[in-house]
């Protein structure tokens, strides 16, 4: 179910959820570009992607899929590994950046929720709840080791060149594989497992 149905049924919740989702995705992509920039790759900066402006990150097809199907994406931040000295560690750190950013955002949202104790049904409470849950799901989903997701790139950083090449050969078909597995429910146990790990880390930090 996409966000369009929610817009028709509950416009206020739609706006809250849309803003939370939009900036969760933006911070995820921004983190990739920022870490790459710190490691010597200025590609994202020169292409105007180190910004919180949604127009710089939104992908038309990904946005439409999100609205009507409930699954979407933003434009990937351009990374040129040739500008990064240590390509193996660079690949791991840049790929981890978005996942770590989403985990930190979820932690902050839950921490603020705990400190201010807003009404769960109020606008602030709903935003913090959705913002935390969306970031946890984004982090967990991106840990799946299927290209082009971050989990596959992190895995590639630990593999031999031959194994990296074998995984890269899946990338042109990765989107279709992920969609098929999602609709079949085959990825649900993996996402739940990664979600449990992230929640355990956040819970440890909170308490």
Nearest to 133 by CA among 179, 69, 191: 191
Residue 46 buriedness (CB in 10 A; 0-12 / 13-18 / 19+)? exposed
Q: Tell me the two tokens of residue 17.
A: 């959820």
What residue numbers bound the domain in which 139 lies? Answer: 3-206
pTM: 0.92
Q: What is the pLDDT of residues 85-117, one digit of tens each?
A: 999 999 999 999 999 999 999 999 999 999 998
pLDDT at 2: 59
Q: Do 91 and 157 form a contact (C-beta atoms < 8 A)? A: yes
> Which range has the worst mean pLDDT, 28-37, 112-121, 154-163, 187-196?
112-121
Q: What is the pLDDT of residues 110-169, one digit of tens each?
A: 999 999 988 877 888 889 999 999 999 999 999 999 999 999 999 999 999 999 999 999
Mean pLDDT of the chain: 90
State the residue for tokens 């985990």: 103
Residue 192 buriedness (CB in 10 A; 0-12 / 13-18 / 19+)? exposed
Phi, psi of 74 (to 5 degrees): -110, 170
Q: Do 24 and 138 form a contact (C-beta atoms < 8 A)? A: yes
What CA–CA distance (Å, rounded) separates 19 from 25?
Answer: 10
Q: For 39-122, where are the alpha helices, taking DSSP H only?
A: 43-46, 60-68, 87-116
Q: Tell me the two tokens of residue 204.
A: 């440890």
What CA–CA distance (Å, rounded) separates 1 from 10?
Answer: 14
What CA–CA distance (Å, rounded) separates 82 from 125?
Answer: 44
Active-site residue set: 29
Looking at the structure of the chain, the number of domains it has is 1
* CA-to-CA dists, residue 60 to 53, 101, 178, 185, angstroms: 15, 24, 19, 26
**What's the half-sphere exposure (Cβ side, CA atoms, 13 Å) at 135?**
30
């Amino acid at each position: 179910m996409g966000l369009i149905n929610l817009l028709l049924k509950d416009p206020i919740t739609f706006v809250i959820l849309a803003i939370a989702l939009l900036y969760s995705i933006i911070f995820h992509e921004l983190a990739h570009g920022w870490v790459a920039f710190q490691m010597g790759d200025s590609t994202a900066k020169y292409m105007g992607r180190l910004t919180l402006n949604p127009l710089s990150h939104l992908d038309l097809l990904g946005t439409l899929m999100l609205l009507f199907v409930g699954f979407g994406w933003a434009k990937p931040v351009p990374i040129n590994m040739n500008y990064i000295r240590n390509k193996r560690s660079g690949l791991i750190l840049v790929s981890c950046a978005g996942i770590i950013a989403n985990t930190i955002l979820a932690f902050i949202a839950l921490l603020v929720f705990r400190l201010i104790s807003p009404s769960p049904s109020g606008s602030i409470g709903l935003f913090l709840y959705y913002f935390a849950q969306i970031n946890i799901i984004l982090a967990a989903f991106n840990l799946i080791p299927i290209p082009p997701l971050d989990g596959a790139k992190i895995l590639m950083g630990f593999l031999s060149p031959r194994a990296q090449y074998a995984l890269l050969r899946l990338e042109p078909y990765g989107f279709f594989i992920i969609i098929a597995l999602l609709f079949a429910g085959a990825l649900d146990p993996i996402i739940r497992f990664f979600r449990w790990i992230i929640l355990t880390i956040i819970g440890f930090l909170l308490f």
